[in-house]
Amino acid sequence: SARYNSNTSGVRERTLIAVKPDGVHRRLIGQIIQRFEMRGFQLVGLKMLRVSEELLSQHYTSLCKKPFYPSLLHYMTSGPVVAMVWEGHNVVRSSRMLVGDTNPTQALPGTIRGDFSVHISRNVIHASDSVEVAQKEIALWFQSSELIEWECCDHDNLYEF
């Protein structure tokens, strides 16, 4: 659309959010989606899937040498995941704030991890940590045909551009 290409840096930024298997099992999908909607972000992709070790090895390339990597693989393949792409102004940075610190002990109350988790090995949700990483992760998890470009009816109440 015109807005997508116009001079509105960051407005149509996108990020990959995934409810991890513990979040799905604990029936947190709805509450997690609600927090992103409440804030004013726009959902442009959504699916439930079982993630393969192949996808995870590409997703977590920087962690593959860590001692906890085998247990991370086991955790992430222990049940279905709900993957989403959210769009909006500075959504990558804002999502990391909504999600909270990687370690739930450090995550502030009010954040998703700070409200719903106690240990780093079961921290409920994934959020891309930079714009560049978000683009890579979205391309890894979603086909472009699975991403929906649409105009939210409240755009002019969230932005002045």
Find which of Mg ion, ligand GDP, none residue 42 binds, CB within 5 to 8 Å per kind.
none
The CA distance from 62 to 78, in Å, is: 21
Return the number of the residue (15 or 123) whose C-beta is nearest ligand GDP. 123
Q: Which one-letter DSSP state was computed for residue 51?
A: P
> How far is residue 49 from each of residues 54, 77, 80, 81, 84, measured CA to CA in Å?
14, 10, 5, 5, 11
Report the alpha-carbon angle 99-17-2, nearest 5: 115
Joined tokens for residue 159: 């932005």
Return the number of the residue (49 or 64) whose C-beta is nearest ligand GDP. 64
Return the number of the residue (11 or 107) whose C-beta is nearest ligand GDP. 107
**Active-site residue, selected from the candidate residues 59, 74, 119, 126:** 126
The CA distance from 21 to 61, in Å, is: 20
| x/- letters, 60..89, toward ligand GDP (CB under 6 A) | ---x----x--xx-----------------
Find which of ligand GDP, Mg ion, none residue 130 binds, CB within 5 to 8 Å per kind.
none
The three-state secondary structure class of 42 is strand
| x/- letters, 89..128, toward ligand GDP (CB under 6 A) | -------------x-----------------xx-x--x--
Joined tokens for residue 21: 């298997």
The reply to whether 59 belongs to the active site is no
**What amino acid positions are annotated as catalytic residues?**
126
Which segments are annotated as binding site for ATP? 20, 68, 96, 102, 113, 123
